[in-house]
A and B are shown apart, each in its own frame.
Chain A
C-alpha cells in the first residue's frame, strides 16, 4: 500500500518545504549536531567544577584551622596578572576566529599562536607559583583543595593549548576549512569555558580569603 504524503503540521505548509526539511534531516546537519553536543558536554563538564567549588565552600566554611601552620593567605598579585592574561586571550581567540570567518588564514594563525602563547604564559606562571608555595597538596584540606582546583583547571588550559595547536596544524592542510570549521569553534568555545571557570576559581580562592 502506498499513500501520499500529507502536510504534517502548520510549520510545514507545502510539499516543497517538506522536501527541504527531509533533505536537511537526511544530511543530519552534522556540524549543528556537533556544536549542540559540544555545548551539552561543556555544561556537564562545568558540573564537575561546580562540585569541586561546592566542596571548597563547604570546607572553607566548616574547617576550624583552614590554613596550614605558618600560612596566612595566598599572594594575589601575580595570579591577578595571570588572570588578566588568560581572560584577554579569550578576546584574542575570538579575533582569530573572525579572521578564519573572513578566510584570512594568516591572521587566524597569528592570533591563534598569540592565544597559545598567552595560555602557555598562564601555565608557566602557575608552575612558578606552585613551586614557591609554603604548603603542599598534603597540607590538610586547604592544600588538597587548592591543588585540586588549580591543577584540574590547569589540565584544562593544557588541553585547550593542545587543541589550538591541532587547529593550527590543520590550517596548513589546503582546503581544510573551506566547508566550515567546527573544530575551531569548539576549541574557541572550550577556551571561553576555561576562562569563565578561572574567573570563578580566582574569586573563590584568591579574592575570598
Chain B
C-alpha cells in the first residue's frame, strides 16, 4: 500500500514551471502555472485599483465644494465613467479571478487549471483591456462620458465625428474583457467539475470553490447578453444601424435589458467569491466548523439561479410596465433569502468560537457587517416606491459602494491577508494589517454612509456641482474618501516588505484544514508531490477528523497562539 505524506515538502521558492526564471521575473512571462497567473491577475488588478481610486479622489476633491471648480463637467463625466469601468472591469473581476486561479486548483487537489494555456491567454487580455481604456484619454474628445453602463442615446453621441473615439475604445475594451471572462469561466467550470481530487465529493468541496463555480456559471449565462448588446451598440456607433437610436426607430430601453441582464448578476459574480472567502476564513480564525456548510454551498447556486431574474429592478423608473415592476420586485426580495442564509451561517460559525482578531478575521467581520448594511439598503432599492423616490440619487451610489467597497473590497483584503502566507511562505506584519483595517473600515463608513442621507435629500448622482444644502455631508464623504485612499498605503507597504523579508512561517501557519494548506508555501510546480485522496469535509475544526489519510493531525485542532502574539508584539 502506498504511503502518503501529510508533511508537505520543504519550501522551495521559484520554479513555478520547468525552465521558468527563479525570481520575480517569472511574473512577467507567459506562464501557464495557475499560481503565477493568479498573482499576475492580483498585482495587475491592484495597479488598476490605484488608478481607479485616484480618479475617485479627484471626484471627491471636486465634490468637497458645491461648485465645479476643480475639474469641469466634461472631465468629471469622463472621470466617473472611467472610475466605474476600471474598478469593475480592471479591478474587481480580475482580482477575484486571480484569487480563484490561485486557490481553486489547490483547494480541489488538482495540478493546474483544466486549460493552462487558455488561462494564460485570458490573463494577458487584461492588460490589453487596460491599455485600451486608458488610451481613450489620448484620443480627441477624451474618454467615454456615458458612465460605465453606456446607456444610449447618450453613448451614441459622437461630437468629434471620429471613428476612433472614447466610446468605441470603451466598447472594444469591454468586449475583450468579456472574451477573457468567458474563457476564464469555461476553464473554471471544467476544472471544478472534472478535476477534483479522488474522494472530494460535491459536499466535501470547500465553500469557496462552490461560490467560484456559482459565479462563473453566471458569467456563462449572463456575459453573452452584454456582449450581444455591446455588439449592437458598436454597430450603431460605427456603421449606422439603428438598434438603440430612438430617432431612427431604435429602442434604447432594450439596451438596458441587455445590459442589466448581465450587469446585475455581475454583482453576484463579484460578491459570491467573497462570500466563499468569508466562509473559509471564519472557521479558521474561530476554530469552528462552518455552520450549515451544505446550505451555504447550495445557497450560492440558488443565488446564481435567482440572480438571472432580477435585472429589471434597475429599470423601475424606465417606463417599465406595472406587472414587470411587481415581478422583479418580488424576485429581488427573494435574493435576500440565500444571502441571509449565508449571514446566519457565518454568525452561527463564530458563535461560541475561539475568535482570534487577526487581520483577515477583522476584514471578514468588517466586510460581513458592511454587507448586512448594504443588503438592507438593497431591500429598500428593490422596493418599487422607494426606488422611484431615490432613483438616480446618491442613495444608490451609497448602496452599491457599500456592497462593492464595504463588502467586496474588504473581503478581497481578507482573502489576500489570509492566503498571503500560502502564496509567499512568509507572514505579513500584523500591526500594519490592523492599521490598514482600521483606516479602511472607518474610511468606508465616513465615505459611503453620508451618501444615504444625501440621496434621501435628493442630491442627484453624476453631477460636478450641487446645491449648498448638500455641502455638509459631501465634506464628510470627501474626508472619508481621502482616508480610504490613504488606507491603501499601509497595505502596499505591508505586502511588499513582508514578501521580501517577512517571517517565514511554514506551510500551514493558521493550522487550517483544506488541501491548499497541505502543500508547501509557496506551492511547488504542480502543487502536490502526490495527489491527495480526500476522506472528509473541509471544516473539521474541533472534531479532530482527518482530511486526507486516516489519522487526524492533532496540530490542526489548535490555533497557533504564539504566531499572532509574536506578530503583534
Chain B residues with CB under 8 Å of A29's CB are: 194
Q: Chain B interface: which of A18-26, A164-172, A180-188?
A: A18-26
B535 to A, closest residue via Cβ: A8
A62: CB under 8 A from chain B? yes
**B 227-260 binary contact with A (CB < 8 Å = 1; else 0):** 1110110010001111100001111001001100
> In the assembled complex, how far is the CB of residue B469 from the closest CB belonging to chain A, in whole angstroms?
42
Q: Are B199 and A9 interface neighbours, CB within 8 A?
A: yes
Q: Are B240 and A36 interface neighbours, CB within 8 A?
A: no
Chain B residues with CB under 8 Å of A50's CB are: 224-225
Q: Are B111 and A28 interface neighbours, CB within 8 A?
A: yes
A102: CB under 8 A from chain B? no
Q: A2-B6, A6-B535 are in contact. Are A55 and B232 (CB under 8 A)?
A: yes
> In the assembled complex, how far is the CB of residue B251 from the closest CB belonging to chain A, in whole angstroms?
7
Is the interface on chain A under 10, 10 to 19, 20 to 34, or 35 or more residues? 35 or more
> In the assembled complex, how far is the CB of residue B92 from the closest CB belonging to chain A, in whole angstroms?
21
Q: Is the interface of A mostly helix, strand, loop or mixed?
A: helix
Q: Are A9 and B201 interface neighbours, CB within 8 A?
A: yes
A77: CB under 8 A from chain B? no
**B 513-526 binary contact with A (CB < 8 Å = 1; else 0):** 00000000000000
> In the assembled complex, how far is the CB of residue A67 from the closest CB belonging to chain B, in whole angstroms?
12
Q: Are B199 and A12 interface neighbours, CB within 8 A?
A: yes
Q: Are B227 and A48 interface neighbours, CB within 8 A?
A: yes
Q: Which residues of chain A from 144 to 179 have a CB within 8 Å of any chain B CB?
A: 144-145, 147-148
A78: CB under 8 A from chain B? no
A45: CB under 8 A from chain B? yes
Q: Give the CA-CA distance A11 to B258 in the complex, in Å.
A: 45
CB within 8 A of B1: which of A5, A8, A9, A148? A5
Q: A3-B550, A21-B198, A55-B254 are in contact. Are A37 and B186 (CB under 8 A)?
A: yes
Q: Give the CA-CA distance A21 to B2 in the complex, in Å.
A: 14
Chain B residues with CB under 8 Å of A9's CB are: 199, 201, 535
Q: Give the CA-CA distance A68 to B57 in the complex, in Å.
A: 50
B222 to A, closest residue via Cβ: A47
A38 to B, closest residue via Cβ: B186
Q: Are A44 and B225 interface neighbours, CB within 8 A?
A: no
Chain B residues with CB under 8 Å of A69's CB are: none
Chain B residues with CB under 8 Å of A2's CB are: 3-7
For A36, A55, A58, the residue with the greatest tally of chain B CB atoms inside 10 Å of its CB is: A55
A203: CB under 8 A from chain B? no
Q: A28-B111, A44-B185, A141-B242 are in contact. Are A1 and B1 (CB under 8 A)?
A: no
Q: Are B6 and A1 interface neighbours, CB within 8 A?
A: yes
CB within 8 A of B251: which of A21, A47, A58? A58
Q: Give the CA-CA distance A78 to B466 in the complex, in Å.
A: 62
Q: Are A18 and B251 interface neighbours, CB within 8 A?
A: no
Chain B residues with CB under 8 Å of A32's CB are: 194
Q: Are A41 and B225 interface neighbours, CB within 8 A?
A: no
Chain B residues with CB under 8 Å of A144's CB are: 232, 235, 241-243
Q: Are A148 and B193 interface neighbours, CB within 8 A?
A: no
A121: CB under 8 A from chain B? no
CB within 8 A of B193: which of A36, A47, A48, A141? A36
Q: Are B249 and A140 interface neighbours, CB within 8 A?
A: yes
Q: Are A36 and B190 interface neighbours, CB within 8 A?
A: yes
Q: Give the CA-CA distance A143 to B245 in the complex, in Å.
A: 14
A15: CB under 8 A from chain B? yes
Chain B residues with CB under 8 Å of A140's CB are: 242, 248-249
**Interchain residue pairs with CB less than 8 A apart (7):** A1-B553, A12-B198, A36-B193, A40-B185, A47-B221, A47-B225, A59-B254
Given contacts A3-B546, A28-B114, A34-B115, 19 further A-B contacts (CB under 8 A): A3-B6, A5-B533, A6-B535, A8-B198, A18-B198, A41-B186, A47-B224, A48-B225, A50-B224, A50-B225, A51-B225, A55-B254, A58-B257, A62-B251, A141-B251, A143-B241, A144-B232, A148-B231, A148-B241
